[in-house]
Chains A and B, each alone.
Chain A
Amino acid sequence: MRRLHFRPCGNFKTSYREELTIFETDFGRLWTLVGIVLLMGVVPFVASPYMLYVLNNMAIAAIAAVGLNILIGFTGQISLGHGAFFGVGAYAAAILATKVGFPFWAAVLSAGVITALVGMIFGTPSARLKHLYLAIATLAGQLIIEYVLVHWESLTGGPSGIILPEPVLFGLNVSSDRAFAWVAFGCFIVMTWMASNLMRSRYGRAFVAIRDNDLAAEGMGIPLFRYKLLSFAISSFYAGFAGGLWAYYTVSITPEPFTIMLSIEYIAMIIIGGLGNIAGSVFGAVFIVGLNEILSQATEFVMNLGALAGIALTVAPLREFVFGLAIVLFLIFEPRGLAEVWRVVRSSFRLWPFAY
């Protein structure tokens, strides 16, 4: 049996292999396993339906946020169209399920693939464009997709939307909050696991090289365009997959939620969570979805107070304001996001009572 890995008191790595491990210590691995067991085995039985609803939304948002982080945080390509890609996934799943009769798993997976193709179309400008130009190109993509979702009525049902059949997996109906929790958590764990492994592979390192300096990356023999496009495809696959899950979970979808506001929400998630950090995108998703729920609960509470009934406080603008504020404050005060906060907190516990 090999010796347990503990955190060393310095950097004693002797091979690249050690640098690339996901878990630096055996405790990290243990805690992750404990977390997975709790999430899959305990939470669905203990949590109330409302809590499960929130957690499911967090898991779905986390999948999409991980995808966006691969694109923005790791490859350095700004996308303002992630919300629309999420919508493409939701619609692809809905159309495949209702018009073609795909089963749940196939519809969600092919939603991911279709969205990856759409993402690659809007990623092609990245062949010649960088940062700001690409941000504009994806913004145009967002607005074009929004338009298509509303106006291609024969396919998308226009503003009235599509109603999905109940999700059935291995012969079991998983439409209830609790049953769906296993699906959502399972997908979340698998997708996050895939992403963190992808990021330490040859491809992930190529993405990071492109982000840090694209000219140098090209000089080292990384075909820029192919890798940028691949990054777009992977990121959109995540968005589409999450969108498909979301469509099944929400049952009825309309073009309304997939606006630029949703894209901004996803950007807020990865900035707040931490750019270029897989765990960070999960933190960000939890933070934003949680904040969303807290805000709508709070406004509902205020609306129901008799004395304040005259004030028509609507949640949408408040949400927009708070998200914008959160993006701005995090960028100014903690650009590396919650992941960095978490690391600092952890290491201060570990190092206590000595400073280093």
Chain B
Amino acid sequence: MDFFLQVLVNGLSVGFLYALAALGFVMIFKSSSVLNFAHGELLAIGAFVFLVLSTWLKLPIVVCFVLTLAGCFALGFIIERFFLRPLIGEALIEVIMLTVGLAAMFRGLLLLIFGGNLHNYRPFLPEGLAIRIGSVYVAPVYVASFIIGILFLAVFGFFFKYSSWGIYMRSVADHQPAALSLGVNVRRVFALSWAIAAVVAAMSGVVLGIINGINVHQLSYIGLKVFPVVILGGLDSIGGAIIGGLIIGLLESFTGGYISTSLREVVSYVVLVLILLVKPYGLFGSVEIERV
């Protein structure tokens, strides 16, 4: 029973991290229908910026957070301005390829600068955040990530639902030409969505870095893990990303705990293919209907 509970809690906490990582991804998809294959690299960039600021330059943690978020916001703008904007109006296939190219480029760059080794932050989370129920122990970082996740979720939920920029973003995602003709500044919407996504990605990168240490390969691998999560939840649903993340996390944790440890890496992709075959728009995604 204890083992079961521990596996359950592990699964939920890992799942929450996946959900957090998937948030930024859904963000970009929701506003610009771009499938971002460079998401894992965005996570890694955020994590490494934080590493440079906090561990190498030894700035106070709050300053580090603010600077990392600001830096990644700017980075998102830059990516959109220099790489994505020239392709506005081009076929979707080219935009997807572009993000694949960006992913390779960023990963290579990070590996050149930081190498493939594992880096670590100095510990800064208070131990008081930890939760201990009976034999089950939840580390402080998971609690912190849970709080951050809920916060981001609420903020972005309200942002998309009520703010005018959120509504512009949804309109652009829904039908770009119609949004253009109604006077929505599509370019700025794209830029903003990339900037926000980079911020969310950086945030989740930092959280992941605190838990597992920072490693380029690992973080870009998490970027690929995002796909089963968002497909399960529905590509354009923020709530779906959370639920999908939790389900995938549980699935991996139970496979690892009860069936085989090595199967854990691949089980989510098997599920991914099955979902694509059976229910391609996921649990909460909006179904695309094509009419001639």
Contact = CB atoms under 8 A, between A and B. Distances in A.
Interface stretch (A54-62, A93-101, A165-173, A314-322): A314-322
Contacts of A320: 104-105, 107-108, 111
Nearest to B38: A324
Interface in B15-31: none
Interface size class for chain A?
A: 35 or more
Interface in A89-135: 122, 124-125, 128-129, 131-133, 135
Interface in B89-104: 90, 92-94, 96-98, 100-104
Interface in A294-318: 312-314, 316-318
Contacts of B110: 317
Interface stretch (A26-34, A230-238, A277-285, A326-334): A326-334
Given A137-B273, A316-B111, A143 B224 contact: yes
Interface string A129-151: 10111011101110110010001
Secondary structure at the A interface, as helix, strand, loop or mixed, is: helix
B262 interface: yes
A141 B269 CA distance: 8
A338 B111 CA distance: 29
Contacts of A143: 224, 266, 269
B133 interface: no
Contacts of B93: 72, 76, 78, 131
A144 B270 contact: yes
Contacts of B272: 136-137, 140
A133 B94 contact: no
B276 interface: yes
Given A131-B92, A324-B101, A324-B104, A151 B269 contact: no
Nearest to A331: B98
Interface string B248-269: 0000000000000010011001
A271 B231 CA distance: 27
Contact of B108 (A129, A215, A267, A318): A318
Most chain B CB within 10 A, of A129, A137, A319, is at A137
A55 B2 CA distance: 60
Given A133-B280, A317-B116, A332-B98, 19 more contacts: A125-B273, A132-B35, A132-B235, A133-B231, A135-B96, A136-B231, A139-B227, A141-B273, A143-B269, A151-B262, A215-B292, A267-B97, A267-B100, A268-B104, A320-B111, A321-B105, A321-B107, A326-B101, A328-B83
Interface of A: 72, 76, 78, 80, 122, 124-125, 128-129, 131-133, 135-137, 139-141, 143-144, 147, 151, 215-216, 219, 260-261, 264, 267-268, 271, 312-314, 316-328, 331-332, 335
